[in-house]
Amino acid sequence: MLQGTRSALYANDRESITVTVQEVNPRSVGALIALYERAVGIYASLVNINAYHQPGVEAGKKAAGEVLVLQKRVLAVLNEASCKEPAEPLTVDEIADRCHEPEQIEMIYKIIAHMAANDRAIIAEGNCGSPRSIKVFLVECNVDELFS
């Protein structure tokens, strides 16, 4: 892959460099990061742009905050359903409705899939190829650490 990429770049008059390190360790990784930080800064000054002005970064942080708020609401809905006797597994649609966020169904599915994959006390049973078939519940109700 490396040689093929290098050949393709060269054939299209695109320059590239290859950096080889003797050993991958904290010092060599840090040196590479420092090298590329400086290369970006120098190149940006040569072409007269501010490489560190990234308006999308702030928008990304705001969007991530909104996802965390939605995650907290999803967990509250699941907590309420899981603490009932008998526990009530919910579909993604039901969770979206109870969160009053039916337009966020895809995001809610991704939150659930991520938390289930990372053993965050959520069980999601069903066919991941058909997200609306999935039933979701908490392993135990009142899992306070999930809300922090």
What would you report as the CA-atom Rg of the chain, rounded to the nearest whole angstrom? Answer: 23
How many Å separate Cα 26 from the centre of its chain? 25
- Report the DSSP beta bridge partners of residue 125: 135
Residue 107 has pLDDT above 80, yes or no: yes
Confidence band, pLDDT 50/70/90 cuts, at residue 56: confident
- CATH (one of 1.10.3720.10, 1.20.970.10, 1.10.10.10, 1.10.10.410) for 61-138: 1.10.10.10
Residue 101 has pLDDT above 70, yes or no: yes
More confident residue, 126 or 29: 29
